[in-house]
Amino acid sequence: MRAAESGEPVKDAMVIVTDVRGDLLATGNTGEQGEFAFAELVPGAVTVAVNAAGFRPRALPVEVGATGVTRVELVLDAGAQVQGVVRAPYGPLADARVTLVDAAGNVAGTATTGADGAYAFTDLDGGDYTVIATGYPPVATALTVSGTGVDGHDIELAHPGE
């Protein structure tokens, strides 16, 4: 296994082998030279999936031969990263929803800012994106106020699905 840009071996990448039903057959990590090996795989169609820090995940269909060694050469593309801070007039904004949309209008990811207003997106393809930051969606509730005393009315804001 090697990096597409530099041709250097990718060590410590996680390699997973599954059968056509998605059942796990084997797992392991690549060595110093990006190599990996699995013994005792049954001949037939499998999927080899690879995940390495700083690279885009990759899955490849492979046909394991009945005899000998089946060799697979995987090339991993570097994954781009976007990170930033959402700020309000008074400072960093915690719990803001940040959505990343690609050039085709597809949502590439969503994140919620931390206490420091920070967000991050990883494993991105290169290209044009739009970043949309929002606070909580508005909430409208009906109420009737009586003529005397104090009426309580608490409002809870949350992101959809939380």
pLDDT in tens, 134-149: 988 887 888 777 777 6
**pLDDT exceeds 80 at position 92:** yes
Let me know if domain 80-134 sits in CATH 3.90.45.10: no
Question: What's the mean pLDDT in 14-27?
Answer: 92
Three-state SS annotation for 3-69: ECCCCCECCCCEEEEEECCCCEEEEEECCCCCCCCCCCCCCEEEEEEEECCCECCEEEEEEECCCCC
Q: Residue range 81-98: average pLDDT?
A: 89
Domain with CATH 2.60.40.10 in the chain: 2-76, 80-134
The CA distance from 113 to 55, in Å, is 24
The amino acid sitting at 57 is P
Residue 49 contacts residue 59 (beta carbons within 8 Å): yes
CATH for 2-76, among 2.40.128.120, 3.30.1330.40, 2.60.40.10, 3.40.50.300? 2.60.40.10
For residue 162, name the pLDDT band (cuts at 50, 70, 90): low
Work out the average pLDDT over 1-26: 88
